[in-house]
Structure 1
Amino acid sequence: MSSAHWAVIGILALAAFSIRIVGLVAGSRIRASRHAWVLDELPGLIVICLVAASLADQPLQTWIAAGAALGAAILTNHVIATMAVGVMTFAGLSLFGI
């Protein structure tokens, strides 16, 4: 490999290390601030963002299945049951052509 390749590898390694250091510093500062509650809610917020982005531009049957899954999640608080209800609802709607 040429020296340019090694330079790129070194720069990328430094960038990856820097990102981790900045994350650690920012996380410790947030934990010490009045915004510490955000870190507790962050995993759920990330999941909600991913689901919302996935539902954008989807047909009505997908939205109905997502609503059924949300209802199952609220009622059961069980991940497997939520997934099963969502998949079965989507499959049923697809089977009947809705």
Structure 2
Amino acid sequence: MTSSHWILIAVLAMAAFAIRVIGLFAGDAIRASRFAWILDDLPGLIVVSLVASSLAGQPLITWVAAAAALIAALLTNHVIATMCIGFAAYAALGWFGV
């Protein structure tokens, strides 16, 4: 490899490290501010945004299975049960040709 390759690798490594350090300092700053409540809700918000974006443009069978999984999550508050019920609903709806 040439020296330009090594320079590129070094710059990318420093950038990756800087991103993590900046995130660490930003997280500490947010934790010490009046916006600390955002960090408590952030994991759930990320999951909801991922699910919502993955449901966009999907057929009705996927939406019905997602609704079944949501109901299971509300009733059981159990991740594995929610996944199993959502999968079973999707499989059953697919089996019956809905």
- TM-score by length of structure 1 reads 0.97
Query: Aligned partners of 1:4, 1:46: CA distance in 2, in Å?
Result: 38
The residue that corresponds to 1:94 in the other structure is 94
Please report the RMSD computed on the Cα atoms of aligned residues, expressed in angstroms: 0.6
SS at match of 1:72: helix
How much identity, in percent, do the aligned residues show? 64
- TM-score by length of structure 2 reads 0.97
One-letter identity of the residue aligned with 2:91: A
One-letter identity of the residue aligned with 1:18: A
Matched pairs, number: 98
Query: Aligned partners of 1:49, 1:3: CA distance in 2, in Å?
Result: 42
The residue that corresponds to 1:24 in the other structure is 24
The residue that corresponds to 2:56 in the other structure is 56
Query: Aligned partners of 1:37, 1:68: CA distance in 2, in Å?
Result: 30
One-letter identity of the residue aligned with 2:15: A
Query: Aligned partners of 1:46, 1:23: CA distance in 2, in Å?
Result: 17
Q: Deviations over 1:39-69 (max 9, x none)?
A: 1111111111111111011000100000000
- Report 1:7-18 matches (<5 A): 7-18=7-18
The residue that corresponds to 1:66 in the other structure is 66
Q: Which runs of 5+ in 2 are unaligned?
A: none
Query: Aligned partners of 2:87, 2:42: CA distance in 1, in Å?
Result: 26
Detail structure 1 runs of 4+ shifted over 2 Å in the superposition: none
